[in-house]
Amino acid sequence: MKKKIFSIAIASILAVTALAGCGAGTGKEAAETTAADKVTLTNVSYDPTRELYAQYNEVFAKHWKEQTGQDVEITQSHGGSGKQALEVANGLEADVVTLALEYDVKAIQDAGLIEDGWVNEFDKDSSPYTSTIVFLVRKGNPKNIQDWGDIVKDGIGVITPNPKTSGGARWNYLAAWAYADKLYNGDEAQVKEFIKKLYQNVLVLDSGARGATTTFVENGQGDVLLAWENEAYLSIQDHPDEYEIITPSISILAQPSVAVVDEVVDKRGTREAATEYLQYLYSDEAQRIAGDNFYRPSNQEILQEYADTFDLDINLVTINDFGGWDKAQETHFADGGIFDEIYEKKE
């Protein structure tokens, strides 16, 4: 992969800035000086990271300025993770992607925009923070929803996004599958029937996680929202007297993935800034920003600082229990997969 040692990159930028300070001319020289003074990055992300990156971008801009003397401007794009990946693959220029799962980044790689090996470019499989799937219910839990078995009962209105377009929705589905798989000792026919009942209870299948939250919280639809843990906590923070979180007996370790979009950064000359933008997510400062926004820091020591917030003893399966994302996608979410088999669209 075309990577440069970051210290060399910093030195190069400082050298350009120093030359500019020695007396830039007009015209082309002035334009080059302006370019050296500022870099722009686009981060294409998924729905529930708006608040996280709004805070992180300010911190990173200060860090980059202190390190290089250069200003940085970051543009954000948010939507369902699968849809966002498709947009980038089809030409939306992103210097970096910070998506809901590895498979969506791999789709961009398959389009020829990200080089092999990206998952090993940053620590923890290029996943600087994690999350899991919980239930958000209305205060007092009037339907007494305690676990996955309760949300397949008659009369329960479920809100979850569409796994065809939303990464969070795929995590939701797989967490439910893991519960049913244990319940029925791996009997696939019974597991499929369980998942079918769950989706028969779904009232609205939004394209992304934030849209599903809006449906449940703002529009008042449904009895339970299958939600990213961080998204559920944000809802509690905004509406402390209206909702509560239920942690199911089994959930899944959700690992959002980050990557530099090689084709774009090499064209735009932004590789150094883009790489540091993702690398700095692992700094203590950024890890605490993740925790403050209800994502689980990948730094285990810092994660312990949030033990009063997160249930650190939750029983979590991982994507490896499904054979990895390629197999999970092919089995469950590809056209003609199990989701297509069991989901009956409401008229």
Residue 244 or residue 12, greater confidence: 244
| pTM for the whole structure | 0.86
Q: What is the pLDDT of residues 234-278, one digit of tens each?
A: 999 999 999 999 999 999 999 999 999 999 999 999 999 999 999
Closest CA to 294 of 226, 247, 236, 224: 236
Contacts of 19 (CB under 8 A, 6+ apart): none
Output the pLDDT for position 219: 96
pLDDT confidence tier of residue 347, bands split at 50, 70 and 90: low
DSSP annotation of 131 reads B
Of 33-47, 92-106, 152-166, 186-200, the range with the lowest mean pLDDT is 33-47
The terminus-to-terminus CA distance of the chain in angstroms comes to 49
Angle CA(317)–CA(322)–CA(328) in degrees, nearest 5? 130
Output the pLDDT for position 344: 84
Phi, psi values for residue 158, rounded to 5°? -105, 140
Q: What is the pLDDT of residues 188-219, one digit of tens each?
A: 999 999 999 999 999 999 999 999 999 999 99
Contacts of 295 (CB under 8 A, 6+ apart): 52, 129, 130, 131, 230, 256
- Across 28-34, average pLDDT: 38
Output the pLDDT for position 346: 67
Give the whole-angstrom CA distance, residue 14 versus residue 18. Answer: 6
Q: What is the pLDDT of residues 66-110, one digit of tens each?
A: 999 999 999 999 999 999 999 999 999 999 999 999 999 999 999
> Is 60 exceeded by the pLDDT of residue 223?
yes
What torsion do the CA atoms of 272, 276, 277, 280 make, to the nearest 10 degrees? Answer: 180
> Is 50 exceeded by the pLDDT of residue 36?
yes
User: How many angstroms separate the most distant Cα atoms in the chain?
Assistant: 75
- Across 294-300, average pLDDT: 98
pLDDT confidence tier of residue 12, bands split at 50, 70 and 90: very low
Give the whole-angstrom CA distance, residue 11 versus residue 14. Answer: 5
Give the whole-angstrom CA distance, residue 207 versus residue 275. Answer: 30
In 3-state terms, what secondary structure has residue 158?
strand
Residue owning tokens 């590809």: 334
| Cβ–Cβ < 8 Å for 80, 47 | yes
Contacts of 25 (CB under 8 A, 6+ apart): none
Give the whole-angstrom CA distance, residue 97 versus residue 75. Answer: 12
Contacts of 149 (CB under 8 A, 6+ apart): 179, 183
Output the pLDDT for position 136: 98
Beta strand 96-99 with 38-45: parallel, antiparallel or unpaired? parallel
Output the pLDDT for position 27: 41
- The total of other beta-carbon atoms located within 10 Å of residue 194's CB is 21
> Is 70 exceeded by the pLDDT of residue 13?
no
Closest CA to 332 of 212, 125, 181: 181
Average pLDDT, the chain: 91
pLDDT confidence tier of residue 35, bands split at 50, 70 and 90: low
The dihedral built from the CA positions of residue 121, 122, 123 and 127, taken in this order, carries a sign that is negative
> Is 90 exceeded by the pLDDT of residue 345?
no
Contacts of 136 (CB under 8 A, 6+ apart): 213, 216, 217, 224, 225, 227, 231, 232, 235, 236, 243, 244, 245, 246
